[in-house]
């Protein structure tokens, strides 16, 4: 993820100093990776909008001010919990175009063509973000649609000041942008200058005036289809008009008296979080201590088993059957937990997916929103890589995703994160690729407790897991929970990633003695970039946290 290049030093400093106190607000709170986008969400809250209105405003504003991952040309997932008990998991993941095929990224010998699934116009999936925002607003919003898109239109048209981090981010992508004239022209602003995007402002105006049709039909759709046709891409007008967001039921989990809502398939994030928490609940992690080798050993072992199950079973539920109820049954989780040796690492080569019952029941960014009534939104969305594939739609001013790399180009072949996906996640027309995104909402005794999520590819579920453990088991405040050092293991490759200064030397030795292999911290960078909100139990005050790893992030409220 390109942004991590610029924030490793920020992380190192943060890990050596105490976290600042969380941001406090009596009524509403927004936390995102971009200060102007956070302010857009708070502006909508002040005007009487609810959490969903503010979330939509924040999402469109991020498409202007945080183009590495904020988007209208990508897709993602939203968890909604309204104060009256209504909940929803909105899946607006990108889909494979109707002319996509299982072998489209293989050569004549059946081998994967290097980088073909993440570069060029054929790497683009049908965008879902606008459809997802429309669905959320139609179901739960209060203000008029045009009013919640208005802050983004203003930011694109009038511009905003370029920060040091954003200018450096643009510079780091010069090679990616080089083949695409529109991207080279737009994303080259210098620190301290005003960054205006008039074509994007026109596109956002069409969306503000016409809603879904302002993107999937009419001029914007024509410009996108023309971009595809001119460069060998697969997306046409029929793909755009036919795209649909899907409302699903959240994955539900319980942990030490808390109820959690997270994302259901096609995202694997909610499953991974629920299964790992289920395996860990039998252990007193608070007593073991936050930074002990014994605690980290347990985390690593549950991570390996959960990711092995993900590789075997997860795909688009419209195409494959994922035995989610069986994977999350108490009997199955107990069986997986009993496999763990407290004193020895199980090599990943010895771990395979379990056999659950068949019962049914990159670069990304996350933001969290809570309003005065206790309505909450946890939203994670993406262009896949930073700035997607680097392609800007000529005349429309927005970047396109390269999400086709989230499919398995060939069953068992590792993706850009080194994670192998199975047959269930191979390409088919209209299919959604499996994701790791884990937007999550926590509830205690029927009341909202916290909202959390993060970018980070396959590190996402493990990052959310560790923040939840920090809040519940280790008693940290939300800023401490977000800033604390993190580790990651994803089954394959069989290695532990950890952040610089994140593990003490004796903890590293303790893990190595158990048989774990660790990657040198200077090769890792940061793990995740969390934006979270917690509710102070006694007062109801909203406590906002923007990760120290997020150089332009901001939590703000009113």
Give the pLDDT score at 256.
98
Residues 97 and 57 in one domain: yes
Contact 34, 554 (CB under 8 A): yes
Residues 223 and 346 in one domain: no
Q: How many CB atoms lie within 10 A of CB 289?
A: 12
Strand ranges in 119-245 using DSSP code E only, listed in sequence order: 160-161, 194-195
In whole angstroms, give the CA distance from residue 88 to residue 79: 6
Give 528's Cβ-side CA count (13 Å radius): 35
Query: Comparing 220-224, 272-276, 321-325, which segment has the lowest mean pLDDT?
Result: 321-325
Domains contained in the chain, number:
2
Within-domain flag for 315: yes
Residue 528 has pLDDT above 90, yes or no: yes
Mean pLDDT of 273-301: 98
Give the pLDDT score at 357.
57
Query: Comparing 231-235, 408-412, 442-446, which segment has the lowest mean pLDDT?
Result: 408-412
Give the pLDDT score at 358.
45
Which H/E stretch holds residue 153?
A: helix 145-158
Within-domain flag for 13: no
Residues 101 and 210 in one domain: yes
Q: What is the pTM of this model?
A: 0.95
360 versus 520: the higher-pLDDT residue is: 520
Residues 157 and 45 in one domain: yes
**pLDDT band with cut points at 50, 70 and 90 for residue 8:** very low
Contact 225, 240 (CB under 8 A): yes
Residues 220 and 275 in one domain: no
Within-domain flag for 427: no
Catalytic residues: 364
**pLDDT band with cut points at 50, 70 and 90 for residue 355:** confident
Give the pLDDT score at 197.
98
Within-domain flag for 397: yes
Contact 176, 402 (CB under 8 A): no
Residues 270 and 391 in one domain: no
Within-domain flag for 79: yes
* 52-62: burial string, b at 16+ Cβ within 10 Å, e else: bbbbbbbbbbb
Residues 237 and 186 in one domain: yes
Q: What is the DSSP track for 427-471?
A: --TTPPPPB----EEEEETTEEEEEE----GGGHHHHHHHHHHHH
Our measurement of the distance from residue 13's CA atom to the centroid of its chain's CA atoms, rounded to an integer in Å, reads 25
Give the pLDDT score at 2.
42
In whole angstroms, give the CA distance from residue 179 to residue 161: 26
411-450 pLDDT, tens digit each: 877 766 667 767 899 999 999 999 999 999 999 999 999 9
Mean pLDDT of 129-155: 98
Give the pLDDT score at 18.
81
Instruction: Please give the mean pLDDT across all residues of the chain.
Output: 94
**pLDDT band with cut points at 50, 70 and 90 for residue 99:** very high
Residues 322 and 374 in one domain: no
Residues 309 and 238 in one domain: no
Among left, alpha and beta (phi > 0; psi -120 to 50; other), residue 528 is left
Within-domain flag for 3: no
Give the pLDDT score at 508.
97
Give the pLDDT score at 417.
63
Within-domain flag for 184: yes
> The domain containing residue 28 runs over which residues?
21-247+364-409
Comparing CA positions, the residue from 453, 432, 429, 461 lying closest to residue 310 is 461
CATH of residue 341's domain is 3.60.20.40
Comparing CA positions, the residue from 456, 468, 523, 470 lying closest to residue 496 is 523
Residues 42 and 64 in one domain: yes
Residue 6 has pLDDT above 50, yes or no: no
Strand ranges in 221-337 using DSSP code E only, listed in sequence order: 246-248, 251-255, 258-262
294-326 pLDDT, tens digit each: 999 999 999 999 999 999 999 999 999 999 999
486-519 pLDDT, tens digit each: 999 999 999 999 999 999 999 999 999 999 999 9
Q: What is the C-alpha R_g of the chain?
A: 22
Residues 278 and 307 in one domain: yes
Within-domain flag for 118: yes
Residues in the chain: 558
Residues 240 and 92 in one domain: yes
63-77 pLDDT, tens digit each: 999 999 999 999 999
């Amino acid at each position: 993820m390109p942004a991590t290049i610029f924030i490793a030093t920020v992380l190192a400093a943060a890990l050596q100093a105490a976290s600042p106190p969380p941001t406090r607000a009596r009524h509403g709170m927004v936390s995102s990776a971009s200060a102007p986008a956070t302010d857009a969400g708070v502006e909508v809250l002040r005007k009487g909008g609810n959490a969903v209105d503010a979330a939509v405003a924040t999402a469109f504003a991020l498409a202007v001010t945080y183009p590495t991952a904020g988007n209208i040309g990508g897709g993602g997932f939203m968890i909604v919990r309204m104060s009256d008990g209504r909940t929803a998991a909105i899946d607006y993941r990108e889909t494979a175009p109707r002319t996509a095929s299982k072998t489209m990224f293989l050569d004549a010998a059946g081998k994967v063509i290097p980088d073909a699934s993440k570069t060029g116009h054929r790497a683009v999936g049908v965008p879902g973000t606008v459809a997802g925002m429309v669905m959320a607003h139609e179901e739960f919003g209060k203000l008029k649609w045009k009013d919640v898109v208005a802050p983004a239109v203003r930011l694109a048209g009038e511009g905003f000041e370029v920060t040091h981090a954003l200018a450096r981010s643009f510079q780091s992508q010069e090679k990616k942008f080089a083949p695409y004239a529109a991207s080279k022209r737009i994303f080259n602003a210098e620190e301290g200058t005003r960054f205006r995007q008039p074509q994007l402002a026109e596109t956002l105006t069409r969306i503000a005036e016409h809603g879904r049709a302002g993107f999937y039909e009419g001029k914007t759709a024509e410009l996108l289809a023309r971009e595809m046709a001119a460069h060998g891409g697969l997306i046409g007008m029929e793909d755009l008009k036919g795209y649909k967001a899907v409302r699903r039921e959240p994955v539900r989990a319980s942990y030490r008296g808390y109820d959690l809502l997270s994302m259901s398939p096609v995202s694997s994030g909610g499953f991974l979080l629920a299964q790992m928490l289920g395996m860990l609940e039998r252990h007193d992690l608070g007593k073991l201590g936050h930074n002990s080798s014994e605690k980290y050993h347990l985390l690593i072992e549950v991570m390996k088993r959960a990711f092995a199950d993900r590789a075997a079973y997860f795909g688009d539920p419209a195409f494959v059957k994922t035995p989610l109820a069986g994977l999350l049954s108490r009997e199955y989780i107990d069986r997986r937990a009993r496999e763990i040796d407290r004193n020895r690492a199980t090599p990943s080569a010895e771990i395979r997916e379990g056999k659950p019952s068949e019962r049914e029941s990159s670069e990304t960014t996350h933001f969290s929103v809570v309003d005065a009534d206790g309505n909450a939104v946890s939203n994670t969305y993406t262009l896949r890589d930073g700035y997607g594939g680097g392609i800007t739609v000529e005349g429309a001013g927005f970047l396109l995703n390269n999400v086709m790399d989230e499919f398995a180009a060939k069953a068992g072949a590792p993706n850009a994160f080194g994670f192998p996906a199975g047959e269930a996640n191979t390409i088919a027309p209209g299919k959604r690729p499996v994701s790791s995104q884990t937007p999550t909402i926590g509830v205690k005794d029927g009341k909202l407790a916290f909202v959390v999520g993060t970018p980070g590819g396959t590190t996402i579920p493990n990052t959310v897991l560790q923040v939840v453990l920090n809040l519940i088991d280790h008693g940290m405040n939300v800023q401490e929970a977000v800033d604390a050092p993190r580790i990651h293991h994803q089954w394959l490759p069989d290695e532990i990633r950890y952040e610089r200064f994140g593990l003490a030397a004796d903890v590293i030795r303790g893990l190595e003695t158990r048989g774990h292999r660790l990657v040198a911290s200077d090769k890792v960078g940061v793990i995740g970039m969390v934006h979270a909100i917690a509710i102070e139990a006694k007062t109801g005050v909203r406590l906002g946290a923007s990760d120290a790893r997020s150089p332009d992030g901001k939590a703000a409220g009113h």
